[in-house]
Amino acid sequence: LSGQENLQLMVDLHGLRGEAGTAVIADLLKRFDLVESAGKLVATYSGGMRRKLDLAMTLVGNPRIIFLDEPTTGLDPRSRRTMWTIIRELVADGVTIFLTTQYLEEADQLADQVAVLDHGRIVASGTPDELKRQVPGTHVRLKFASVAELDAAARVLSDATRDDDGLALRVPSDGGTRSLRALLDRLDEYSISAEEFSVHTPDLDDVFLALTGQTTEVAAK
Protein backbone atom coordinates (compact mmCIF):
# COMPACT_ATOMS: atom_id res chain seq x y z
CA LEU A 1 0.00 0.00 0.00
CA SER A 2 1.03 3.60 -0.55
CA GLY A 3 1.22 6.22 2.16
CA GLN A 4 -2.06 7.75 1.01
CA GLU A 5 -3.77 4.36 0.96
CA ASN A 6 -2.66 3.69 4.54
CA LEU A 7 -4.13 7.01 5.61
CA GLN A 8 -7.32 6.21 3.69
CA LEU A 9 -7.68 2.98 5.68
CA MET A 10 -7.44 4.91 8.94
CA VAL A 11 -9.93 7.49 7.71
CA ASP A 12 -12.37 4.70 6.80
CA LEU A 13 -11.90 3.07 10.22
CA HIS A 14 -12.83 6.35 11.88
CA GLY A 15 -15.96 6.64 9.77
CA LEU A 16 -14.90 9.78 7.91
CA ARG A 17 -16.58 9.94 4.53
CA GLY A 18 -16.42 12.08 1.42
CA GLU A 19 -14.90 15.53 1.59
CA ALA A 20 -14.26 15.31 5.35
CA GLY A 21 -12.02 12.26 4.92
CA THR A 22 -10.27 13.72 1.89
CA ALA A 23 -9.54 16.94 3.78
CA VAL A 24 -8.05 15.05 6.72
CA ILE A 25 -5.73 13.06 4.45
CA ALA A 26 -4.61 16.17 2.54
CA ASP A 27 -3.94 18.03 5.78
CA LEU A 28 -1.88 15.21 7.31
CA LEU A 29 0.16 14.64 4.17
CA LYS A 30 0.99 18.34 4.07
CA ARG A 31 1.68 18.57 7.81
CA PHE A 32 4.15 15.70 7.71
CA ASP A 33 5.74 16.70 4.38
CA LEU A 34 4.57 13.51 2.67
CA VAL A 35 2.68 15.02 -0.27
CA GLU A 36 5.27 14.11 -2.91
CA SER A 37 5.64 10.55 -1.61
CA ALA A 38 1.92 9.96 -0.93
CA GLY A 39 1.49 7.69 -3.95
CA LYS A 40 4.64 5.66 -3.37
CA LEU A 41 4.67 2.26 -1.69
CA VAL A 42 5.45 2.49 2.02
CA ALA A 43 8.04 -0.27 1.48
CA THR A 44 10.13 2.32 -0.40
CA TYR A 45 9.98 4.89 2.41
CA SER A 46 12.99 5.79 4.53
CA GLY A 47 12.87 5.17 8.28
CA GLY A 48 12.07 8.81 8.95
CA MET A 49 9.23 8.84 6.43
CA ARG A 50 7.73 5.70 7.94
CA ARG A 51 7.79 7.21 11.44
CA LYS A 52 6.08 10.33 10.15
CA LEU A 53 3.45 8.25 8.39
CA ASP A 54 2.87 6.20 11.55
CA LEU A 55 2.29 9.38 13.53
CA ALA A 56 0.08 10.85 10.80
CA MET A 57 -2.09 7.72 10.90
CA THR A 58 -2.32 8.03 14.68
CA LEU A 59 -3.64 11.58 14.32
CA VAL A 60 -6.53 10.72 12.01
CA GLY A 61 -8.93 10.50 14.95
CA ASN A 62 -7.60 13.73 16.51
CA PRO A 63 -6.57 11.99 19.78
CA ARG A 64 -5.88 14.01 22.91
CA ILE A 65 -3.48 11.40 24.34
CA ILE A 66 -0.79 9.65 22.30
CA PHE A 67 1.65 6.92 23.34
CA LEU A 68 4.91 6.90 21.37
CA ASP A 69 7.28 3.96 21.84
CA GLU A 70 10.82 5.04 20.90
CA PRO A 71 9.63 7.05 17.87
CA THR A 72 13.12 8.18 16.78
CA THR A 73 15.07 4.92 17.14
CA GLY A 74 17.21 4.37 14.06
CA LEU A 75 16.58 7.81 12.58
CA ASP A 76 19.36 10.04 11.31
CA PRO A 77 19.95 13.31 13.24
CA ARG A 78 17.94 15.43 10.79
CA SER A 79 14.92 13.10 10.85
CA ARG A 80 15.12 12.94 14.63
CA ARG A 81 15.03 16.74 14.88
CA THR A 82 12.06 16.82 12.51
CA MET A 83 10.20 14.36 14.72
CA TRP A 84 11.04 16.49 17.78
CA THR A 85 9.50 19.51 16.05
CA ILE A 86 6.33 17.55 15.26
CA ILE A 87 6.04 16.34 18.85
CA ARG A 88 6.50 19.87 20.21
CA GLU A 89 3.78 21.14 17.86
CA LEU A 90 1.38 18.45 19.06
CA VAL A 91 2.05 19.36 22.68
CA ALA A 92 1.53 23.02 21.87
CA ASP A 93 -1.87 22.05 20.41
CA GLY A 94 -2.84 20.52 23.75
CA VAL A 95 -2.07 16.87 23.04
CA THR A 96 -0.66 14.84 25.95
CA ILE A 97 2.17 12.57 24.80
CA PHE A 98 3.62 9.63 26.73
CA LEU A 99 6.96 8.79 25.16
CA THR A 100 9.47 6.04 25.88
CA THR A 101 13.02 6.58 24.70
CA GLN A 102 16.56 5.35 25.14
CA TYR A 103 17.90 8.73 23.99
CA LEU A 104 18.42 10.77 27.13
CA GLU A 105 18.95 14.01 25.22
CA GLU A 106 15.52 13.43 23.71
CA ALA A 107 13.90 13.17 27.13
CA ASP A 108 15.73 16.32 28.23
CA GLN A 109 14.61 18.25 25.16
CA LEU A 110 10.97 17.15 24.99
CA ALA A 111 9.71 16.14 28.42
CA ASP A 112 7.90 18.20 31.02
CA GLN A 113 8.04 15.20 33.36
CA VAL A 114 10.40 12.22 33.26
CA ALA A 115 10.10 8.82 34.93
CA VAL A 116 13.17 6.58 35.09
CA LEU A 117 12.38 2.88 34.75
CA ASP A 118 14.72 0.18 36.05
CA HIS A 119 13.55 -3.41 35.44
CA GLY A 120 9.98 -2.17 35.04
CA ARG A 121 10.03 -0.17 38.29
CA ILE A 122 9.97 3.63 38.53
CA VAL A 123 13.10 4.61 40.48
CA ALA A 124 12.78 8.39 40.09
CA SER A 125 10.50 10.98 38.55
CA GLY A 126 10.38 14.73 38.12
CA THR A 127 11.31 17.42 35.63
CA PRO A 128 14.68 16.99 33.88
CA ASP A 129 16.15 19.79 36.00
CA GLU A 130 14.84 18.28 39.24
CA LEU A 131 16.42 14.93 38.39
CA LYS A 132 19.75 16.54 37.53
CA ARG A 133 19.86 18.30 40.88
CA GLN A 134 19.61 14.93 42.66
CA VAL A 135 23.04 13.86 41.40
CA PRO A 136 26.28 15.18 42.94
CA GLY A 137 28.35 17.17 40.52
CA THR A 138 26.29 20.32 40.20
CA HIS A 139 28.57 23.30 40.67
CA VAL A 140 28.89 27.03 40.13
CA ARG A 141 31.75 28.32 38.02
CA LEU A 142 33.04 31.76 38.92
CA LYS A 143 35.50 33.46 36.58
CA PHE A 144 37.56 36.41 37.79
CA ALA A 145 39.36 39.25 36.05
CA SER A 146 42.66 38.89 37.93
CA VAL A 147 44.76 36.48 39.97
CA ALA A 148 44.31 38.74 43.01
CA GLU A 149 40.52 38.43 42.85
CA LEU A 150 40.82 34.67 42.30
CA ASP A 151 43.05 34.36 45.37
CA ALA A 152 40.66 36.44 47.47
CA ALA A 153 37.66 34.36 46.42
CA ALA A 154 39.55 31.11 47.04
CA ARG A 155 40.27 32.18 50.62
CA VAL A 156 36.59 32.92 51.22
CA LEU A 157 35.26 29.82 49.44
CA SER A 158 37.45 27.15 50.97
CA ASP A 159 35.49 24.25 49.44
CA ALA A 160 36.06 25.51 45.89
CA THR A 161 38.36 23.94 43.29
CA ARG A 162 40.76 26.31 41.55
CA ASP A 163 41.38 26.62 37.84
CA ASP A 164 44.38 28.92 37.72
CA ASP A 165 44.69 28.89 33.94
CA GLY A 166 41.07 29.94 33.56
CA LEU A 167 41.12 32.31 36.56
CA ALA A 168 38.09 30.42 37.82
CA LEU A 169 36.69 28.62 40.83
CA ARG A 170 34.41 25.60 40.79
CA VAL A 171 32.10 25.74 43.82
CA PRO A 172 29.93 22.72 44.78
CA SER A 173 26.23 23.65 44.79
CA ASP A 174 22.79 22.14 44.44
CA GLY A 175 21.97 24.77 41.82
CA GLY A 176 18.97 26.05 43.79
CA THR A 177 18.20 29.76 44.13
CA ARG A 178 18.75 29.77 47.89
CA SER A 179 22.29 28.36 47.71
CA LEU A 180 23.16 30.60 44.75
CA ARG A 181 21.95 33.66 46.62
CA ALA A 182 24.00 32.67 49.67
CA LEU A 183 27.12 32.25 47.51
CA LEU A 184 26.72 35.66 45.89
CA ASP A 185 25.98 37.29 49.24
CA ARG A 186 29.18 35.79 50.65
CA LEU A 187 31.25 37.21 47.80
CA ASP A 188 29.55 40.58 48.22
CA GLU A 189 30.30 40.52 51.94
CA TYR A 190 34.01 40.52 51.09
CA SER A 191 33.59 42.95 48.16
CA ILE A 192 34.60 40.30 45.65
CA SER A 193 33.13 40.51 42.16
CA ALA A 194 33.13 37.68 39.61
CA GLU A 195 33.51 38.54 35.94
CA GLU A 196 31.40 35.56 34.87
CA PHE A 197 28.95 33.31 36.69
CA SER A 198 27.45 30.05 35.44
CA VAL A 199 25.74 26.97 36.87
CA HIS A 200 26.76 23.54 35.58
CA THR A 201 24.64 20.47 36.24
CA PRO A 202 25.04 16.77 35.39
CA ASP A 203 23.17 15.66 32.28
CA LEU A 204 20.53 12.95 32.26
CA ASP A 205 23.14 10.33 31.39
CA ASP A 206 24.80 11.04 34.73
CA VAL A 207 21.43 10.92 36.47
CA PHE A 208 20.43 7.55 35.05
CA LEU A 209 23.80 5.93 35.68
CA ALA A 210 23.73 7.17 39.26
CA LEU A 211 20.20 5.85 39.78
CA THR A 212 20.56 2.48 38.10
CA GLY A 213 24.22 1.84 37.34
CA GLN A 214 23.19 0.41 33.98
CA THR A 215 21.30 1.00 30.76
CA THR A 216 17.75 2.01 31.52
CA GLU A 217 14.54 3.11 29.88
CA VAL A 218 12.98 6.52 30.11
CA ALA A 219 9.31 7.37 30.05
CA ALA A 220 8.66 11.01 29.26
CA LYS A 221 5.51 13.07 29.33
Predicted pLDDT at 167? 95
Q: What is the pTM of this model?
A: 0.67
Predicted pLDDT at 209? 85
Q: How far apart are CA 143 and CA 166, in angstroms?
A: 7
CA dihedral angle for residue 49, residue 53, residue 54, residue 57, rounded to 10 degrees = 180
Q: How far apart are CA 84 and CA 98, in angstroms?
A: 13
Q: How far apart are CA 199 and CA 94, in angstroms?
A: 32
* Residue in 212, 71, 57 with CA at minimum distance from that of residue 134: 212
Q: How far apart are CA 213 and CA 167, in angstroms?
A: 35
Predicted pLDDT at 184? 92
**Beta-sheet strand order (sheet of 65-69):** 65-69, 96-101, 217-220, 114-118, 121-126
DSSP alpha helix (H) spans, 157-219:
177-189, 204-212
Domains 63-131+203-221 and 138-200 fall in the same CATH topology: no
Residues 78, 193: contact at Cβ < 8 Å? no
Tell me the domain boundaries of the chain.
1-47, 63-131+203-221, 138-200
Q: What is the CA radius of gyration of the chain?
A: 25
The answer to whether domain 63-131+203-221 has CATH 3.40.50.300 is yes
Highest CATH level, class, for 138-200: alpha beta
pLDDT in tens, the chain (221 residues): 899 999 999 999 999 888 999 999 999 999 888 999 999 999 999 988 998 999 999 999 889 999 999 989 888 888 889 889 999 999 999 999 999 998 888 999 999 999 998 888 898 999 998 898 887 778 899 999 999 999 999 999 989 999 999 999 999 988 888 999 999 999 999 999 999 999 888 888 888 888 887 555 566 66
Q: How far apart are CA 115 and CA 195, in angstroms?
A: 38
Predicted pLDDT at 217? 58
